[in-house]
Structure 1
Amino acid sequence: MGCTGCGNSGGLPKGCKNNGQCGTSGCGKLHVFDWLSGLEQPTEDLKFPYVEVRFKNERKEFFHNKNNIPLQIGDVVAVETNPGHDIGIVTLKGELARIQMRIKKINKPERLAQIYRVANQRDIDIWQENRQKESQMMLDARRIARETGLDMKISDVEYQGDGGKATFYYTSEDRVDFRQLIRDFASAFKCRIEMRQIGYRQEAAKLGGIGSCGRELCCSTWLTDFRSVSTNAARYQQLSINPQKIAGQCGKLKCCLNYELDSYLDALKDFPKSETLIESERGKASIVKIDVFKKEIWLSYIKSDNVTWYKFDCDEVNQFVSRNKKGEKIEPLEDLHKDKNAGETIFKDIIQENSLNRFETKKKKRNQKRKNKSFPKKGKQINSKKTEK
């Protein structure tokens, strides 16, 4: 079996180099690597009778193989639902399913629904036919919801395998009373209706897109768990608290703010706290900027008109703090900076130097010079020639 997601060439995948033994048909975020493929499986009596089945919209559930149907990963099966049956694809079985159920904390597997059979051709045809109706069904559902006047957005529709039920996924900031909407949907689509509210991050994962980094969204490609992200993650990494820059397409804070947060927290243990004040002979100074990678800190006086930053190493600032704790005041920052960094440029008036319209002012002066230039008119030149004659 080759791996379609890695670019199968001659039966060998180009990506994961596992020679098609990963047990999946691709390398998507819903697939689990079969690291037990090379081990000897238990006997028939000791085999785990539960399997994992994947449906649409990144939904996975576990089912009981009560009838001991011989199943392989990738088989299309008909499973028990209420009401009717649904069609899904087997993604895990055996010991991997046991471990996954333990991770998901499923303590009572005897209450799980069972697998009816391997899907026949008629089941697959009905399933594919219902899947093709979903796009038009979602457009009609949005139109009906708009006519009803409800403040909600329908993101996706999932048809059950036998066509007996349709699940509508929607997002809304407030609570929605959709009792009348369900009646309208039932009369329009002639099936059982289920409304399921999802968050904005789940909506972005379903719809997908391109992030500000130029890559596909993490939530739609590989990220499976949504951890809470706070503005403190941006502050620890010395990022600007600008909602337009640190927010993703879902309108929430970007999940990637948590990726390097632990590394920054470990590095910031050597730095003094950002609210630390340093007593000097000239006055109090505060920390205005921190460079975690170079371990440098910029200090500036609190009561000072000119915006001047003085750069010091992290160890030096820690010495300043320890001296203040002993009751000593350090020398003025400019004297300490001159002794350490003789001849080095000090940052001054940063806002004026980095002005974005500095090129436009030069252009305006040039245009004003052109306007002030006086040129003789044609009529006066002709009159002067006539008078000379």
Structure 2
Amino acid sequence: MEPEKKTILMLGTFDSKGNEFQYLYEELLRRGVAVMTMDVGVFKPQGHFHVDITSEEVAESGGRLLKDIRARGDRGEAMKYMSLGARSIALSLQKKGIIQGIISMGGGGGTSVAATAMQGLPLGFPKVCISTLASGNTQEYVGTKDIVLFPSIVDICGINRFSRMIMSRAAGAVCGMVELDPIISQNDKPVIAISMFGNSTPCVEKCSKILNEKGFATVIFHATGSGGKAMEDFIVEGNCIACLDITTTEWADEICGGILSAGSTRLDGPGKAHIPHLIVPGCLDMVNFGTMDTVPEKYVIAERKFYNWNPMVTLMRTNEKENEILGKILAEKANESLSPVAFLFPLEGISILDGVNQPFCDWKTDKILFESIRKNVKEGIPIKSVEANLNDDLFAEAAVENLLELMNK
């Protein structure tokens, strides 16, 4: 008995790139997979392959009738509703086990629609998009998911020896991804998410070691903006049982215009997922910029304290006013949570650079941060302090102990 074929969802604007998708369709079939097709174009599809999910169905799933989208003639609006519809349908197909991978291709518009759909799919699900934009700033397209953007090199317009080569290799890539599923260990441990930064690495490494010895697996996210967003999504999707938020530094970048902001929803994930959340104001003493010439002029004029972390990264010490604001934000985030939440303060520095005789050492300003949290947090949320630097073993041990207490509740 032959094994059941894996099914790849081929999504695209079949109206404008029907011939190109015809070639991709044939390349997928040539590799022995089944292909399901979804049309996200607004007009009549081209090509000679069967369309399984029509543009009418996609539009309706996105909240509009296709005839109304056509009548308005607004390209941006059309992309919005087709993106939403494609995302909803793709996720439904994945949850039902109907598809095992997804592939698409396009220029700016096609990539946008495909990426929106792919961002709705879980980590580990094979996602490949051939794109004219794959070599630029891809953050908006990849988001926090493992989307493989395959550079088209030439424009996706016509079939030639170069475009054939790229499409064929991309088809091979997604088919290779679905060929064998990852080996699932029967001994996988419960997962705890932890946020880390260069300035909090010793603390996180120690916490991870202790938790691993206690029978947990730790998944560590680098608090670089995209890392914080990825951790929030990872948590909301139900991938872990608790969050040890050692490094909340992205909020400093959010309020000061730094380059590593994770946005205004940072710290929301654990509450949405109803998991225990220990919040540490780790590395809130710093804002991240690129080289010194990228630092906003207002900070240079104000003669703020700067430190060159490496040739490409300039750190700015947060001041008293900023720490008061940060404390209020962290407290409000904790207040909104429906999960067990608590704070833990390191009284002898909130980063490596905030330690004794270090460039950012300013415990008076740290105290303003701590007091702002205490002032604004609602009654019943535990707050504890440790007479140690964030990166001392004593603090790491206390952090694990406090998290486990929350988990036991």
| TM-score category, normalised to shorter length | under 0.3
Q: TM-score, normalization: structure 2?
A: 0.23
Greater per-residue helix proportion: 2
TM-score by length of 1: 0.23
Please tell me whether Structure 1 or Structure 2 has the larger radius of gyration of its CA atoms.
Answer: 1
Structure with greater contact order relative to length (CA < 8 Å, sep ≥ 6): 2
